[in-house]
Amino acid sequence: MSFQAYLDNIQAKTGKSPADFRRLATDKGFAEGGKLKAGVKAGAVVAWLKADFALGHGHAMAIVALLKGNKGERSPKKPGKA
């Protein structure tokens, strides 16, 4: 499964976009400016995502990777563009 497929599945399940998760992580104190804060452990973020959004481990780790900046979501394609 591609990284984007993980993000798409997470959004379908939770109704939350990657931008929403960045904002929520900031509100929880895990992130600042949409990026994971130094010293925040992936396990803490994964536990939160599992508890609050019923995400599995792999999908929660996809959000961690997004917050770390290791991966990013693709930009939506414009209509009529390939």
State pTM to two decimals. Answer: 0.84
Domain boundaries, the chain: 3-68
Going by their DSSP bridges, the two strands 31-32 and 35-36 should be labelled as antiparallel
Taking only the tens place, the pLDDT of each residue in 31-77 is: 998 899 999 999 999 999 999 999 999 999 999 999 998 776 665 54
Between CA 5 and CA 38 the distance in angstroms is 27
Instruction: Supply the pLDDT for residue 74.
Output: 66
- How far is CA 47 from each of CA 52, 54, 75, rounded to the nearest angstrom? 8, 10, 28
